[in-house]
Amino acid sequence: MKKRHLRLISMALTLLLMVSLLAGCGGDKDEQKAPLEEEPVVSESEEIELTGEQTYADTVYIAYPNDITSVNPYGNTDAVTAFYTNAVFCNLIENDWETGEVVGVLAEDWEDVNGDGTAWRINLKKGIKFHDGTELDAEDVKFTWEYAKDINNVVKTIPSADAMVKDVVVEDTYTVVFNCNYGIPDFPTYLEIDILSKDAYDTMDVAEAEKIGCGPYMVGELVSGVSYAVERFDDYFEGIDNYPTKEIVFKVIYDDAIPAALQAGEVDYCFYVSPANFNLLDSDPNLKTYKALGCQSYYIGMNYRHDVWNNVEMRQALAKAINKDDIVNVCFENGIGATANYNFCVPSGKGYAEVDAITYDPDGAKELVAKNGKEGMTVSIMATANAKAYAEVVQANLMAVGLSPVIDIVDGSNWAALKKTGDYDIFVNDYASYAGALLYNFDRFFSVGGSSNLYDFASDEWEAMMADIRTCKTYEEMLPKFAEMQQWAADNVPIIPICIGNTIGCANKDVGGVKLAPSLNLMEYQTVYKVVEG
Amino acid sequence: MWRYIVKRILTMVLLIFVVSFIVFTLMSIAPGDPVRSIVGENATEEQVEIMREALGYNDPIIERYGRYMKDLLRGDFGKSIYGAKDVLQEYMQRLPYTVWLAAVSIVFTILISLPLGILAATKQNTWIDTIASAAAMCGLSVPGFWLGIMLMLWFGLNLGWFPTTGAETLNSVVLPAITLGVANAALSTRMTRSAMLDTLRMDYLRTARAKGVAEKVVVFRHALGNALIPIITIVGSQFCGLFGGAMIVENIFTWPGIGSLTITAIRGHDTPLATGCCILTTVITSVILLAIDVLYAYVDPRVKAKYQGR
């Protein structure tokens, strides 16, 4: 009897322990999943201005979920390499995402030598020092172009370098000329390239040389799997007034642990916050959250090896059938993670134009499907496991217009290869990191043989437009043609734009200088600071 | 004894060949195109092809494996396909973190399970035994990932006693070690209890008690010594398991050990890094298991006698 009682008591205690621990997992449901009513960007009153009279922490800690694999800006194609090297290296020219202007960074100015885009003279700023103390000159630009265009030297090559440029000629110490194979009126927009030091590569081991840039920060301590740091370069050519932090340390913290690390004060800032954690962090009085429209354009693509999708009406039927708002609400944390979009281009990209696009119209879609005699047609939807919910929304949308969609979950690591070879009809949740020159992005996605055109889209009309825009003599001349091309893409739907990913950040209240740039390779964390007094 | 050790080392060599072949082959035939991942979406087909050729991906698997093993015999584990980092160097940078975590975790396991198991056995069918058994049941049933998150929230975030992530400070190890140690401690407690109960019922202990030997001496000197054999087996296996099996906990606490390194390599289809990690982990595990077997001989004279052919 006594033993029985003891067992009952111990079972009750165990249950009590489990329940109390489980209770700790809970929280206010409304607080966790509140719908997004207004734009949750940080207010100006919350932002700490850099006055110069405050005392700043020497070190700021930033959380990021991935370790760095290369400190060479051309050594890897991943995001972490791009943003890390962005502080260490400087571009020749930059596409300013705020103003839409092309601005010189290392370049003082540039000119179209022949007036037809076939040759471009770039004049460099003088007195710019690399981290090893040597001075930047035209030879560094020539060296960088030739070194970084070759896949035998680097992993991330300068896009279309050989196709565009015949040769690079050093005219004098600070002047370099790019001779193009054909007229490229928007050529400066292609010069968003990090400049390497030729002297460093000539005199050091590659492992050391690839660390030498001329940005506001130098490569700091790298501890595999733990952290990677940058240290301020006090001889930075634009001065260090805007860079009060001496050292910025990136701590490798996996996605799910980032909120706890921010709340515990173990890190000061994170510019990569999962939308699922947004409300949790936004409700914390010690933190402030940031949100900005990113440069990732999410889209649904079709397999043009299946003849049915070469019929523009069937593509339009799909565009009408798919409810973008549903996808954004169901799959992107109620709109925190993305904003519905109708143009494949993103507003922060050069040459973006508003388009008159096909909107959600299931009745119209049904009519087009019936008109083409495709009622009940099986549509195979290729998706990765993490996009299952996305695929299910699309499946429901397509069923509502009389099609018979089936979902095929595939391995994400094989995604690119499957787009090229797989026997699917449409694929969902793919995205384009939309940065850089517009013509380049158009070319790679929609032109025959384009590097991202793995679904084999081909259109004579499009090719004619591409040929036409290449005859332009000036960039201004190109802009209206860009707008026409965007409208053509909206009408002819070679792909179906769905939404633009939002970039989300979070910082402690005493942190300032945060710039949530829409492009990963422009993530300007280097201006971040932490006020410790004042 | 030496003959046994040499035999085990030869088995280990064979095991390395088998493991390397299986891992290398599985990584190579797994769906996915690592070359595309490396060069990114902007690369042209021509560039993809050049990179594929440079990495040897166009050669048959068996040829690539042969090349890999040839390099391996020279001590060259190759380079990671992302960032071209030396595999052995990368592994060795992460190994101390895993060793430290496993060691602290196993100390926690022993400190909890040994006294609790002994107490439960000596106080069989009392409330102490019931609570110890219930605690062991809880420890075994609670999923590690859930416990880790709860510990992180309570002791890291709410109380602020320990860091929630990373491995920079000495106390960073506490939460992941406890998370890993709880299930191990629960199992070891049950093993210790049952081994002790078996031993305590032996005739020689009854004789000792009849001769008036103090209970403490009976338990700690005569019973525990004999009960240690299965306990060493289980604790040793748990220690080995922590080298390759701490991946989930390493992920929760962002612990930079070999578990998270291996997972990253597998996810990225990084064949040299994944194969290298598996081979090195196999070697370490085999060495530890061998050490445990040798330890048996010192704890149990019967085993030593067997090795010596007596």
The pLDDT of residue B33 = 73
Alpha helices in B123-201 (DSSP H): 127-141, 144-151, 174-200
Nearest beta carbon to residue A264 from set B50, B134, B164: B164
| Record: contact B157-A444, CB cut-off 8 A | no
CA A251 to chain centre: 21
DSSP A501-520: EEEEEEEETTEE-----SSG
Q: How far is it, in rounded angstroms, from Cα A227 to Cα A261?
A: 14
Amino acid at the residue A478: M
Residue B85: list chain A partners with CB under 8 A.
69, 224
C-alpha atoms less than 13 angstroms from C-alpha of A61 in its C-beta half-sphere: 17
Closest to A529 in 3D by CA, of A290, A248, A245, A217: A245
CA A391 to chain centre: 22
The pLDDT of residue A6 = 57
For B160, nearest residue in chain A (alpha carbons): A264
The pLDDT of residue A30 = 38
Say whether pLDDT at A517 is over 50.
yes
Nearest beta carbon to residue A226 from set B36, B166, B251: B166
Torsion of CA B114, B117, B122, B125, to 10 degrees: 170
The one-character DSSP state at A97 is: T
Q: How many residues does chain A have?
A: 534
A27 neighbors A505 (Cβ within 8 angstroms): no
Q: How far is it, in rounded angstroms, from Cα A341 to Cα A363?
A: 21
Tell me the two tokens of residue A490: 């909206």
Min CA distance, A261 vs chain B (Å)?
A: 6
Q: CA-based angle B49:B54:B57, to the nearest 5?
A: 70
Q: How far is it, in rounded angstroms, from Cα A65 to Cα A290?
A: 18
Nearest beta carbon to residue A10 from set B83, B131, B165: B131
Rounded to an integer, the average pLDDT of B275-304 is 82
Q: CA-based angle A186:A187:A188, to the nearest 5?
A: 95
| Record: contact B43-A451, CB cut-off 8 A | yes
Give per-residue pLDDT as tens, A422-480. 889 999 988 887 766 778 888 889 999 888 898 999 999 999 999 999 888 888 888 89
The pLDDT of residue A378 = 96
| Record: contact A416-B44, CB cut-off 8 A | no
DSSP A165-182: EEEEEEEETTEEEEEESS
| Record: contact B166-A3, CB cut-off 8 A | no
How many separate helices (H) and strands (E) can be counted in chain A?
A: 17, 20
Residue B157: list chain A partners with CB under 8 A.
260, 263-264
Residue B127: list chain A partners with CB under 8 A.
6
Min CA distance, B254 vs chain A (Å)?
A: 5
Min CA distance, A65 vs chain B (Å)?
A: 9
For A224, nearest residue in chain B (alpha carbons): B93
Block residue for tokens 């700043």 = A56
The pLDDT of residue B294 = 79
Establish if B247 touches chain A: CB-CB under 8 angstroms.
no
A200 neighbors A140 (Cβ within 8 angstroms): no
The pLDDT of residue B78 = 85
Provide the chain B residues 141-170 that lie in CB contact (below 8 A) with chain A. Answer: 149-150, 152-154, 156-157, 160, 163-168
Tell me the pLDDT band of A295, cut-offs 50, 70 and 90. Answer: confident
Min CA distance, A465 vs chain B (Å)?
A: 22
CA quadruple B187, B193, B199, B201: dihedral sign? negative
- From first CA to last CA, the distance across chain A in angstroms is 70
What is the average pLDDT value for chain A, to the nearest integer? Answer: 86
Question: Which residues is A338 bridged to in the sheet?
Answer: A501
A42-46, A509-513, B6-10, B204-208: least confident range: A42-46
A528 neighbors A377 (Cβ within 8 angstroms): no
Q: How far is it, in rounded angstroms, from Cα A350 to Cα B274?
A: 41
Min CA distance, B273 vs chain A (Å)?
A: 13
Min CA distance, A450 vs chain B (Å)?
A: 8
The pLDDT of residue A131 = 97
Rounded to an integer, the average pLDDT of A353-369 is 94
| Record: contact B256-A257, CB cut-off 8 A | no
A108 neighbors A121 (Cβ within 8 angstroms): no
The pLDDT of residue A406 = 96
| Record: contact A260-B168, CB cut-off 8 A | no
Tell me the two tokens of residue B79: 């380079």
A57 neighbors A530 (Cβ within 8 angstroms): yes
Tell me the two tokens of residue A146: 């030739």
Say whether pLDDT at B27 is over 90.
no
Rounded to an integer, the average pLDDT of B215-236 is 82
Give per-residue pLDDT as tens, B98-119. 999 999 999 999 999 988 998 8
Q: How far is it, in rounded angstroms, from Cα A297 to Cα A159?
A: 19
Provide the chain B residues 96-115 that lie in CB contact (below 8 A) with chain A. Answer: 97
- As a whole-number percent, the residues of chain A with pLDDT over 70 amount to 88
Tell me the two tokens of residue B135: 């605690």
For B148, nearest residue in chain A (alpha carbons): A257
The one-character DSSP state at A401 is: T
| Record: contact A266-B163, CB cut-off 8 A | yes
Rounded to an integer, the average pLDDT of A369-392 is 94
Say whether pLDDT at A524 is over 90.
no
For A265, nearest residue in chain B (alpha carbons): B157
The one-character DSSP state at B79 is: B
Give per-residue pLDDT as tens, A15-69. 665 555 554 444 443 333 333 334 445 554 466 777 777 789 999 999 998 888 8
Q: How far is it, in rounded angstroms, from Cα B4 to Cα B294?
A: 9
Tell me the two tokens of residue B35: 């070359």
The pLDDT of residue A34 = 33
Question: Which residues is A55 bridged to in the sheet?
Answer: A533
Establish if B264 touches chain A: CB-CB under 8 angstroms.
yes
Nearest beta carbon to residue B94 from set A25, A155, A224: A224
SS3 content of chain B, % helix, strand, coil (to 5): 80, 0, 20
Give per-residue pLDDT as tens, B243-252. 776 788 888 8
Give per-residue pLDDT as tens, A163-197. 889 999 999 999 999 999 988 888 988 898 999 99
